[in-house]
Amino acid sequence: MIRLSANLGFLWTELSLPDAIRAAKSAGFEAVECHWPYTTPATEVSAALAETGLPMVGLNTDRGDLSQGENGVAALPGRETEARSYVDAALEYAVATDTANIHVMAGFSDGSEKADETFVETLRYACEKAAPLGKTILIEPLNRYDAPNYHLQTTDHVRALIAAVGYENLQLMFDVYHVQIMQGDVIRRLEQLLDIVGHIQIAAVPDRGEPDQGEIDYRYVLQAIAEMGWTGHVGAEYKPRSGSTDEGLDWMARLLP
């Protein structure tokens, strides 16, 4: 059985985060996740989660300097102190809201060995801090069209990083949208990586809209995920085509196995 999580970074963005949580509950989602919740007091988010009974399954570390177009700093040499502060802030918020997973954002890099070494050290710091709190650290490859020069672009790189970091609480965020664009063969690839997958996300390819159009048959993919024995949530991280989340939710009834 597939349990869906609403990604509130893209869904119901016109609402406050607590009200978006309530909207997700009304729509039939079984969990929520977010991108950067830090402008909303954790107490307000916790209250909405308690009211709805929904768990928060994930949030991201800070992106850095938005005026410079940054998308994380964890793999940027010279920014180690800042990266660690973002990890600390994410863990603090995750503890306050009982959020299970923290996605540590690598950022745009030159792809050098030094950048990789910096990322490994930041991830070791994050995993060591997260482990006694019962939190999982996630890393996610992003496609080269949406995020040119993002340090992490393939699941192969993720597998190598997880081995290099050496902590069991470091796992892969398998976003079918990004993986299909960069590597394809998503079902076999997911089967091969299932031992390190901490979360799965979906969206249509190539437009990143509701997962009911495009080059991926999500009815088939979701059935395959269920048959693999996946017990976690599947995150609906898509951008509503009409701009209205509510208008596009009929895919849930049509596609779920």
CA-to-CA distance for 147 and 212, rounded, in angstroms? 24
CA-to-CA distance for 28 and 144, rounded, in angstroms? 33
Q: What is the DSSP string of 15-83?
A: S-HHHHHHHHHHHT-SEEE-S--TTS-HHHHHHHHHHHTPPB-EEE-----GGGT--B-TT-TT-HHHH
140 is catalytic: yes
Question: How far from 231 is each of 10, 100, 185, 199, 213, CA to CA, in Å?
Answer: 24, 14, 22, 10, 25
237 is catalytic: yes
Contact 230, 191 (CB under 8 A): no
Q: Which of 30, 33, 210, 237 is catalytic?
A: 237
The three-class DSSP label of residue 171 is: strand
Question: How far from 177 is each of 37, 53, 101, 153, CA to CA, in Å?
Answer: 23, 28, 20, 12
Q: What DSSP character marks residue 164?
A: H
CA-to-CA distance for 219 and 256, rounded, in angstroms? 7
The neighbouring-strand residues paired with 58 are 101
Q: Which of 30, 33, 140, 210 is catalytic?
A: 140
Copy the structure tokens of residue 179. Answer: 């993986």
Q: Give the residue numbers annotated as catalytic, written as ranges.
A: 140, 237
